Every structure is written in C-alpha cells, then in structure tokens.
C-alpha cells in the first residue's frame, strides 16, 4: 500500500536501491522515511545499495508484492497530487490510458494536463507512471501486450529514456505471467 503524507520541509537523505529491471536508483527520503523523489543518476555520496526497512519495502514493491511505502511528493499542485494518487492505485503488471487516468483522477476533460502531471511525477517507479499509456497502446496491451514490446514507440514518452518504459512493462508482464 502506498500512503501519501503532506510534504514537510524536513531534512532529506538518499539511499540506493536496486530495481531488478533497471538497476540502481537513488531514493530521496525525508526524516520520516517518506519517499520524496527518485533520481535516475546516483549521487556520489550514495555508494552502495542500502539495507534497511524502506529498501526492503521498495524491493517488495518492485516484485509486485504488497509493500508499505509512504510518499511525500514535493512541489506538486493539488491536481498533480490527485493524478499521483490515481497512479498509485494502478495494479502491478497492468496499464491504464491517459484518458482513463484523467477520469479516475477527477479531470475527465483535462487529458493533456493529466499527461503533463504524469510526466512530472517526482517519484517514478514507486508511483508507477510507466503504466500509463496512450489510449491505442492501452487497448493493444489488453489484446496482445507482446506486440507492444515489438513497437516501443507506441508506449509514449518516458523520462529519462523511452526504452526504460518498455523494460519496466516487460519486467512486470513477465513477472506477473502465470
């Protein structure tokens, strides 16, 4: 379960975690161990993968298991927070379209604004914005997900690397298969 707490101007520290599909990530936490942001580039002071309660919970989350994660997104608007809450509800190994996410977040007529909020997610992978796809790709995922992996350009943009979105989705798809 992902729980949201208000952002407080608390001291921050980074830990290193390793995602099975994409490798090491720097996870920035506040003093409550709430995830504030995820950074793709490892800072020099985050040398090795951390071994503590939050890193174990993140490892569980990355394997599609139930995990207790607290997040505190920094610098987001109320609309962005609504979108991030909707993203947090997307089940492991599934996808949603931007338009369906806009509906869920309460902004059915603001699909572009919702897509912008998805693109500005400060806590990617933990808040799985990689599971949000253009409507045609989301439909193809329901019929034949393997075809999407042959054409990753259909998946939409993903910061910092479009191929990363495909790798994350493939990882979840393969792990979720019976």
Tell me: do 106 and 123 sit in the same domain.
yes
Residues of the domain holding 115: 78-176
Tell me: do 49 and 107 sit in the same domain.
no
pTM score: 0.92
Which residues are catalytic, by number? Answer: 129
Q: What is the C-alpha to C-alpha distance for residues 175 and 64, in angstroms, rounded to an integer?
A: 8
Rounded to the nearest 10°, the torsion over CA 112, 135, 157, 88 is 80
CA angle 17, 18, 21 (to 5 degrees): 145
Q: What is the C-alpha to C-alpha distance for residues 118 and 152, in angstroms, rounded to an integer?
A: 18
Q: What is the pLDDT of residues 90-141, one digit of tens each?
A: 999 999 999 999 999 999 999 999 999 999 999 999 999 999 999 999 988 8
Final residue in a domain of this structure, among 42, 71, 100: 71
């Amino acid at each position: 379960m992902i729980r949201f707490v208000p952002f407080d101007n608390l001291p921050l520290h980074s830990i290193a975690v390793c995602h099975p599909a994409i490798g090491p990530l720097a996870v920035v936490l506040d003093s409550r161990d709430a995830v504030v942001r995820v950074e793709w580039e490892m800072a020099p002071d985050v040398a090795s993968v951390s071994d503590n309660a939050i890193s174990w919970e993140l490892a569980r989350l990355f394997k599609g298991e139930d995990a207790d994660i607290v997040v505190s997104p920094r610098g987001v608007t109320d609309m962005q927070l609504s979108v991030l809450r909707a993203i947090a509800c997307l089940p492991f190994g599934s996808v949603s379209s931007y338009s369906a996410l806009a509906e869920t977040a309460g902004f059915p007529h603001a699909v572009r604004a919702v897509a912008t909020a998805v693109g500005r997610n400060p806590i990617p992978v933990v808040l799985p914005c990689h599971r949000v796809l253009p409507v045609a790709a989301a439909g193809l995922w329901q019929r034949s997900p393997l075809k999407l992996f042959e054409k990753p350009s259909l998946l939409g943009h993903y910061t910092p690397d479009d191929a990363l979105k495909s790798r994350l989705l493939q990882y979840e798809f393969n792990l979720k298969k019976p």
